[in-house]
Structure 1
Amino acid sequence: MESDWDEVARVVLPPPSPNALNTPISTFSFDSMQELLWTANEFGRITSFYGPELQRYTSYRGHASAEGPVKQMLMCDRGVISITAKSVHLASRKGLTQWHFNQDDMKDLRCMAFTSKGVHEVLVAGCQETMYKIDVDKGVITSTLKADAPYTMMKRGGQYICAGTADGFVHFLDLINYKVARTWKAHSAFINDMDARSDILVTCGWSSRPQHGYMLDHLANVFDLKTLMPLPPVPFPPGAAFVRMHPKMSTTCLVASQGGLIYAIDIMNPDAPSMRHANVFDTHITSLDIAPSGDALVLADAQCAMHLWGSPNKIQFTEYGSPTEFADQPAPAPPMDWSADIPLNIIGMPYYREMLFSAWPSHLVSEVGAPPSKIDAGIIASLKRSDIGGYAPFPRKTRRYQFEDTRAVQRAHDTLSAPRFLSERQKDDSQGHEGPRRMSDALEALGDLALGGTTRRDVPVMYRNVEIKYSKFGVDDFDFEYYNKTKHSGLETHIANSYTNPLLQLLRFTPTIRNLALHHTATSCLYDNCLLCEMGFLTDMLEKAAGMNCQASNFLKVFSSLSDASTLGLLEQFATANNPLSVTIQAANRFLLKVFCDSFRQLPPHNRHMEQSLTTGALLAIRCGHCANEMLKPGETLVHDLVYPPKPLKHHPRMTPPRPAFSQVLKASVERQDQTRGWCDRCKRYQQLSTRKTIQSIPKVLMVNTAIHSPDHKQLWATPGWLPQEIGVVVQNGQFFCYEGSDLKYHLQRGFYDIMVYELVGMVVDINSADNQKSHLVSLINVAPSSPDPTDQDQWHLFNDFLVRSTTSEEALRFDMNWKLPSILTYQAKSESHVIDDSWKENLDPSLLYYLPRGPHKSPDPTVLRNLNPTTELPRAGMPCAIDAEFVALSKAEIDIKADGTRETVRPPRLGLARVSVLRGAGPYEGLPFIDDYIASSEPVVDYLTAYSGINPGDLDRAVSKHNLVNLKVAYKKLWLLLNLGVVFVGHGLPKDFRIINIHVPRAQVVDTVDLFSHRLRSQRRLSLRFLAWYLLREEIQQNADKGHDSVEDARTALKLWRKYQEFMDAGIIENMLDDIFDRGRETNFKPPSVYKTERDNGEWRPETPGHMSVPGTPARKTVGPALLGGASHSPSVKKDIFGSPIR
């Protein structure tokens, strides 16, 4: 590596679909013939990137996703050879398949290498008994060979194929007969990476260390392929993880650690290595490769990113590569005049001779597969049985030849009728029409249908799937209040992995978890992927919202980015049809609690309060059934999976076996005893082992997964009253005793034992609608324990995503084996009820507000951006702060075009925070920013919206950005601290900004200039910031369309407008000024004269008349958050009396 080597590019492997998350890189390789870098993921997709800028070139699926990750790729003349566990694939560099092998005896392929015939023949092997020789040109398997050992990696070197085994050996296979010529024990545990060139082989691997498990060796072992003898190893103190031989210098190799340290070492002189360090932030390196030219190096990290290193001035992948072929540029369309004066027939249609396929005659269009009509109840009542069924007289209730539209009847009963859009209701209100029926009326009409009757088999309406409908105004036009009239907020559904919404609601209403999460969030924790902080943010938002709809977008974004969640199959994009949703949510419950405990323990003083509150302490005794050797180890449990007793055999046909009580099942589950087969240290072999638990302590919160798998389990839960609302637990002499009902009352009266009484806080329930709808989850929660008032009685609520309604405890605890079964139960110690600890608000750590982002770029001038002074500018309640934010599009809208041609928005575009600016609203530095953060994007950006956001490509990329970027959590936490310190946010169109940021600000802390300058008596129009600045401040803003808007300029302008509004209020002329503003606005189409004149000259504007005034149908903010910086002052040419305010 030369002295000018540095990171020149960093890209993230694109996701498999537009709405999916990024996937880890399973392998990659430089092309030996073209300037391409080939990568592969865990789902068989292969993607190539061109040149040092790593532009996407081709992408294709070479293997089925069920076969697992792509293990290795080799380059040849015809294209790219790739293997997975069960197949071998060759595709051209354009992505076209040349041949594909997928045989039954291919069970676990791992590696391949070219033979003595070069790139025309390849040897494929793996952890299986057979190897295959494949003729690359003909696409046939020429021979099948027996493997001497399971091979995990292969490299061609000298006269041998070096094959690494799973136990740390290297087998040197002769190129003539592929027999093992020699074996070499390279590492005591297993090999992590190796590479061979000429006559030298270098390996990196793991060794077993007593009491430390497996650790990377601090030496890279070297082997001479000419003499078949080992050479002196190369020292690498950080732990050698990856190695590549230099393609030009035969004795030089590159060795890298997992932490990003890279050595260029001469094997013959290892004492003077050349060192570089790759900045991988909070992740680690997973693989390494070097280009055939030796001028480029690529690293992959665990966060799905690739780091390309090289000399910025002369980086190239191949020495003498052939040119890369690109797609032809499409011919430009002929220019057409689309103005309103041109007749449509001039544009014409494509030429065709036959009738278009879409021109179907009406007699060929019909609905098929309509469901049968429901049998009338009167027919069933008068039914007479016979040998082959039953019969009854037919009561004719329709005319002859009249039929029933059963599909419409089914649609009417499947879902709760959606409300009308807010824009439609506003239009009706403005015209004096009666508004639609609200939720209270709907509940009265559907009360019996929704929850009535204990034997009802149909799923009640309130339990069914709810969906958000989108109008042209987006999600802001949807009437969420129709579904929720309570003071408890629901969660929206149009976010990936929102199936966890019921579990998040359950955790938020558990006071112990709620308190610990908020206390942790108030600390100085800045870990970007801390789910416990996100849980605290979400809890605080739900409490402040007090019934308004919220979304867990930030929490679910972090949750979806965790590799462990992907590995455990907790992400919707990897879900399979045979994996029930109840099983997934139970696994998510176990995963979240473990992550919460780990996160709480990370910060000093590293206490275990969270762990002690959630963990059942136990010792696990493992006993060998052969030698009776017993071993003890900790057996702490966060979540208990219920273990049901086997169904007893009936000794008498009329005898009903006793039904176990819930307390008995819970005791058996906590003291779980298992029989398994495992390794015995004394016998030195696998034996039958028995395990049993000795309980030592019980937590404040008892989390239970119901683990319902059989009809017997379902029947048990369908028993009325089987689930108790209170249980009592006693731990004595290592045993766990559980009581309920009369037994619990008896022991409490005696007072002999120290009993901890638990009460049921809530549960996550699986709603299975069979054929009508897909299965989904809801939560039923008793919100009383989370209230600070100890006199509150039980208040059970149903949380069906954003539908929230109160219910009774009888309805909540009534289950049906056909459609309603619990998945997760939460019991909390009764002594912890109503313990709402809000002391975190007094212990907030505001130090983050006093520092500017650090990075490679110079900090801005203090006259442009100055951090707060912690002694004189401490944020306090009522302190005004101007704010504005800019966003970029992370995904485009999903549009469904129906058969009748109408378009329906399935999912709106997903926006991400790109920049946020906060300015002082008072004091000597009023209008000066103290926050102006650009947020590093961890996801691909599909549209930077530069015309509105002012964000350009590269601004959010750490590798090339000219700004000092911060993580989303840092920017979010600054706003969260200001919110909880009580500042008042001043801005223009803030509700949409706060929604995308995913924070809820109470109305008392918001001053929105859109609302200040609205005149509802005359018009529903919301005035733009640009027009208000021109008319009231005599300033032209947002003039440069190429550079877009500036959030600092926007926020400063909003602050000036607020001050101007205060002047009007003090003078008592606000109503007169509003009349003047709207009169002048109608003359200029509510735009500054410069814009108005341009549109008028182009014929794009027609004046509004009082009788035909255009009224926007929904509350709308400014035309996507522009950005303002200084606002050039000007004097518009208008009538003299326009600015005739007495205070000007």
Structure 2
Amino acid sequence: MAYYSDLCVQSEHLLADPYQTDYSQQYLIPNQEAEYEVRSTVLVDGGDRFGVASVVFDKYEELIWMGNQGGHVTSYYGPAMQKYTSFQVHESEEVRDILTVENGIFALTKTSLRHQIRRGIPKHTHKSKSMSDMQCLYQVSSHKLLMGGHQDKLIDLDLNKMVENIIKIPEEGSAVLRSGGGSLVACGSANGMVSLRDIRCPGKAEHSFRAHSACLSDLDMQGDTLISCGFTQSGGVAVAEPYLLVWDVRGAGRRRAPSVWSLPLGWPPLLLHFVPAVSGRAVALGGDGNVALLHVNESHNVDHSVFQVDTHSAHCSAMDVSSTSQALVFGDQAGHLHLFSAQHNHEPRFNNFSRGTEFADPDPGLPFVSLNDTGFKYSSVPLPPLASGSKWLNEMPEAFYKRVYRKPKTIDPEVLKSMKMQGPIGYAPNPKNTRRNQIPYVNDTLEDLQAVRHNDFVPNIQPIPKCYLKMDFRLYKHGVDDLEINKTGLPGLEATLPNSYCNSMLQVLYYIPQLKTTLLAHTCAKEFCLSCELGFLFRTLDASGGSPCQASNFLRAFRTVPEAAALGLILDRGDQKADLVTLIQSWNRFILHQIHYEILETRKKEKELAFLTQNSSPPKPSRISSRINRQVVNGQYVEDYQYTELEFLGPSEYEEFREPLEDSWKSNNNDEEHNHVRSESIDVSNNHNNTDREDSEISQLFAIVRQQLNRCLKCNKEEERMSVALACALQYGGGERGFADLLRAALAARRSTPAWCERCARFTPTTQRARPHRLPPILAINCGGTTAQEKAYWSKSVTKDATEALKRGLTGKPCRYGLHCARPGCRFKHPDRGLSQSASPDSCTLPHRLHVRLQADGDVLIDDKTDPPPVDKRAVWSDSYALTAVIACVEDGPRHLVAYVSRRKQWFLFNDLSIMPVSAEEVVQFSWWWKSPCVLFYTSVGAAPPS
């Protein structure tokens, strides 16, 4: 079928209403004498989306090739139309013509020509600037193709060299190329002109004539006979002609017009094709599926063999006739292929001498055997082939047969960590790493042998002391179920509620006298105020008399804070995968900032309320930090504090709240220098400004004031500003460094990072340096320990000391007698003295005291020696800090947090409800595999409460 960009529309749309009744039939009754009947119908690949664009019979094999409007080609084998191959030749353009050759097929699209073998493997794709709107293919010889289309040129393509020869034609393109077997080839254009050209020299037309006045639909040749169908002009409208024209082109080259006669049909024909096996027989196909077998040499009225293609109201778009004339194939726009064959011929042949089609080798099947067949011989099943040099097991020599028991798998390290020794017997909970009744074994592979050899030199791990294990105690009406867990008289906190991981931090905050006094004196009208809830919890602990308490009110208010949920501080009840080390350090930053802003807001509201009672006019709105959004709900203020992840979770040292605290420190410095005392009767606006510049008791206790210097490395522009942080994080780096060096790097941090430069007007490398301006009475330090580099710091000295201990003959194996061991100088581990014995090779310590000096040049010096350093005249400020509280993480199956608190020169271990005194050496000793520090609190010696 010819495709026209402007004139190609269906016949029923070309007919106007006056002609509809004359040329269309309501229903065509099939003729019982029809020579062909339908054999099979299939839905082609992609038929649900695209219609059939072209279809041809293979000239060499029993195949049918189909191309659709989506650029996909599919082949079908035999009369049953079994799908053979399916592949894509273009991503979007329709397949307009297909030509079968000996070594494959050529598929023509609008702008490309694809050559593929019949198995679907592409060989070559030809594209050129001359191929703009291609339409048809014609094989001149075994190595030449002639291509035409809706363009003013024909392309003669050499298949061996893939070289084009352009032939200019005056007609409006060549939509159809057909030959009758001689030297002439008929070229039909879209405007209805037909030119006859010699194949040997196609550059000049032998004869040209107008076949149809409007446009040409299709043509075909057989010998010297040419048939055509198309459209004619009638009143300015293209009308489909209900007949086909028969042309005798003999003698057309001698300047004589070919003779012509017409064969009328009951419908307008759309596609034509001669029947190769019978001379003068042709097939005419209408767009509605009407098919007629014509005798074109009989000009008088002859009965035609008529039948109908059931296209389900779809438009027929393609047709072809096999070389044996035994089969016809039709394609429609609904994506179906219809195969017709002669009556009583159920196995039609497409070619007289078709070669065999290549199929994939079938998989060797196994014999089918019933489950009830007890007499089946399994030896009859053929064994699969072996690689060269391999043998079956029954062919191996007897020297390879040896009975060896499988080695059991090594004990899980989780079991060794949680093991409790009772005499020579150890008990540990099941880590549930394997299924029930499943016994794991070790395969003797090279990796397993190397792993076992490597583990032989690792010292065994001692069991964790009982007082550090996670204890499941619950409050009852008459107290807890074990009265031996707390004999100190200090109140404990139950850990059965959600988010009880912060119990350790609550105990530490409770035993900071300055913070406790501030929170007990805090009152406000806010519904969920963490400062009020902390004050209520502290009152409950004071009145408990040493009995256990619950932080239920505080945790309920804590869950309502949206900032805590945004920072990931709120856990579900069954969340066992949370990183408690990171979580408690983020919680430390959050709670200090939260109560600081709550105290500031309460103070501002009290002054606004006092002003409203003294003045009738409302005060001017006070400046509030951009982090605070105030709303009035049910007559109360509802604050929404906006924190960022960088401020609380990031490892950077520049997580500051700048706006309130910078102004407050500047205001305090000016007050101290000028000894200025505020008055209650000053101006309202000044009163509000001073209120904004005030700092809270929290910032006075924990705020670290630093002067930050930023210098651009491109233009050397320097900028200075004051920054304030309530907690600092240790800065880990390469090399062997002590704790004093880590803290010094945290206070006076230096780093290089891209930042915006106003002078350069772009992001440039910038060096940032922080100089401590003032240190608080209490240093809150987050130890990190979340990355591999930070964990390596705590395990580096451990590995070195463990190797030296092994060289001295010490061992990490637990003593079989446990607490009942009476042997003096026993070199095995004991649960009661594993932390204090001097031979422990797996611990590192923290300093109890720190001496800090601020130099005049902004540098900071930290000494962790016991004796205070000599007085340095260059120091502008110096002070000594003592360790007063520690939060540690215990790796006990489910990880949990414990707290060390110094109270009246005695250290206590708080493990939820379990409270017991410990030695000062045990507090500062940490082991990389079971106990690591999280948060440290160093208090100034001058600010510490009297003992």
Q: Which of the five TM-score ranges fits, normalised by the shorter chain?
A: 0.3 to 0.5
TM superposition score normalised by structure 2: 0.36
Structure number, greater radius of gyration: 2
What TM-score, normalized to structure 1? 0.30
